[in-house]
Structure 1
Amino acid sequence: MTAVRTHTHAQAVDAAIELFSRKGFEQTTVEEIADAAQISRATFFRRFRSKEDVVFADHEILLEEVVVMLAATRPEARVNEEANTSRESAWDPSVDPYLEVCRAARLVFDHHVGQRETSLARHRLLQQVPALRDRELVTTHRYERAFTAYLRDTLPTDRSRTTMSIAFAASVVAVHNAVLRRWLRNPYLDLRPDLEEAFADLRRVAAAPASDGGTTAAEDVGEPHAGSKRVVVAVLEEGAGPDDVARAVRDVLN
């Protein structure tokens, strides 16, 4: 990632959101965005595929930062069947993968807070343009996939091939988004302590050992049979806060 690329993306995002907010999404042309961002039309399409994509261009760079951050804590050794190397020997017990995923999610939250005016304008724009809400879902899913892939590669064998990688990644994203929505409604609140507390709740649930033959959040999915594992689903009301999310996940897994 270069400083020029980062600057160009930031310019394009700010220019696009300002134009969309002032003129309307459909009424704004690519040429107008390129002119406002001080780039050529060819450069625009080389770096951004569409008007929808440019609204989230800063997240393309942020996602790269998240992947790099997580990669730095991956064990250097990899499964090598030809060398007969095991997953256990590759796992670094000094690394807490759950904590690292939460750190990565905090990076995303801090990005939104640090770019307050852009974040607020984008949020207002998303309420008006359904296509952008769809694009936001795609962006959110990409973070979730990155977290899941990291957990699968980094957790020890008994946990990595289980629903825990998927469940924990999804829970972290859900809690992050719930706290972020609260902040977007009142951007003068300091909600980072709430985010930290909710993440701590999720980590406690994920790390809890099995007892009395019960299941934990890290166990595999399976069809019902004697000694089978189970999948649980938490249903929350729209607008549920991070405490509600964390409590619901904890309750259904206990």
Structure 2
Amino acid sequence: MDAAVDLFTRQGYEKTTVEEIADAAKVSRATFFRRFRSKEDVVFADHELLLEEVVVMLAATRPEARASEEAGGDLGHGWDPELGPYLEVCRAARMVFDHHVGQRETSLARYALLQQVPALRDRELITTHRYERAFTQYLRDTLPGDRSNTTASIAFAASVVAVHNSILRRWLRSPSLDLRPDLEEAFAELRRAVQFGRGTGAPEPGTQAPRRRVVVTVVDGDAPPDDIARAVRDALG
């Protein structure tokens, strides 16, 4: 992946061949195609592994896994079955954010490529949906029966991904900023909305109830109006 991103950055995505990527990585063309289907795949190779890590991490807190750990006496107390799953989804999204920040040069180079190559933006959207699906499925399987309805799980999963992507793009445009606190506060706000919705986070007397917000889509702040309209239409579709 590093070899591919470096070549794309220096000589352009379209002008770079699979053979050049294989040579730069010191592997054969056949080895490349055993692992990747296309140049697009190699740009997001780290996300294949990262998504697997996310799924494994979430699986460790599913009801059946927790029951097994409790039987073995290895599980700590204090798990809230109604809030815990939301915390775990936020923890998983935080891991994805930290991955991007931790490999700064690759993340910045990939972001620059995404601005130039429409096919890579399409692939990024597919990757985003895969995280959403993983979070949604986890919430549906893990929340108590009266909380795990499909609509609520989809809404929270999509909100976490949208907030993550929005703050990540802010960091990609200004990588000198430390936006981890902003991410934590945004996730906390989403969880407060969940608590308020289930009646456990009602505001104290004399305070105003938090505004409820619906995230439809996230676009860059300098996007043209036509692009914004198209993104909203596609999301609602």
Q: TM-score range by the shorter chain?
A: 0.7 to 0.9
Helix, strand or coil for the counterpart of 1:27? coil
Select 1:114's aligned residue among 91, 99, 102: 102
Q: Which residue of 1 aligns with 2:168?
A: 180
- Separation of aligned partners in 2, 1:41 and 1:156: 49
Is residue 166–residue 218 contact of structure 2 (8 Å, CA) maintained in 1? no
Identity over the aligned pairs, expressed in percent? 80
Q: Which residue of 1 aligns with 2:123?
A: 135
Q: Which residue of 2 aligns with 1:150?
A: 138
Q: By how many angstroms is 1:164 displaced? A: 1.0
Counterparts in 2 of 1:58-207, with a 5 A limit? Answer: 58-76=46-64, 93=81, 96-207=84-195
Question: After TM superposition, which residue ranges in structure 1, 4 or more long, deviate above 4 angstroms?
Answer: 232-238
Q: By how many angstroms is 1:172 displaced? A: 0.2
Do the aligned partners of residues 162 and 110 (structure 1) sit closer, same or farther apart at CA in structure 2, a change above 3 Å counting?
same
Q: Which residue of 2 aligns with 1:18?
A: 6
- Separation of aligned partners in 1, 2:103 and 2:140: 32
Task: Give the TM-score taking structure 1 as reference length.
Answer: 0.72
Do the aligned partners of residues 68 and 32 (structure 1) sit closer, same or farther apart at CA in structure 2, a change above 3 Å counting?
same
Q: By how many angstroms is 1:201 displaced? A: 0.3
Q: By how many angstroms is 1:239 displaced? A: 3.8
Specify the code of the residue in structure 2 equivalent to 1:68. V
Do the aligned partners of residues 237 and 39 (structure 1) sit closer, same or farther apart at CA in structure 2, a change above 3 Å counting?
closer
> Over residues 32-80 of structure 1, what are the superposed CA-to-partner deviations in whole Å (9 max), with x where a residue is unaligned?
11111122111111111100010000000000000001001011179xx
Say how many residue pairs are matched.
196
> Over residues 222-251 of structure 1, what are the superposed CA-to-partner deviations in whole Å (9 max), with x where a residue is unaligned?
xxxxxxxxxx855578446xxxxxxxxxxx
> Over residues 16-39 of structure 1, what are the superposed CA-to-partner deviations in whole Å (9 max), with x where a residue is unaligned?
111111111111110111111122
Unaligned runs of 5+ in 1: 1-12, 79-90, 212-231, 241-254
- Structure 1 range deviating more: 15-24 or 108-117: 15-24
Task: Give the TM-score taking structure 2 as reference length.
Answer: 0.77
Q: Does 1:45 align with 2:33?
A: yes
Helix, strand or coil for the counterpart of 2:63? coil
Is residue 52–residue 132 contact of structure 1 (8 Å, CA) maintained in 2? yes
- Separation of aligned partners in 2, 1:64 and 1:166: 20
Do the aligned partners of residues 210 and 97 (structure 1) sit closer, same or farther apart at CA in structure 2, a change above 3 Å counting?
closer
- Separation of aligned partners in 1, 2:218 and 2:127: 23
Is residue 114–residue 120 contact of structure 2 (8 Å, CA) maintained in 1? yes
- Separation of aligned partners in 1, 2:133 and 2:180: 23
Helix, strand or coil for the counterpart of 1:163? helix
Specify the code of the residue in structure 1 equivalent to 2:12. G
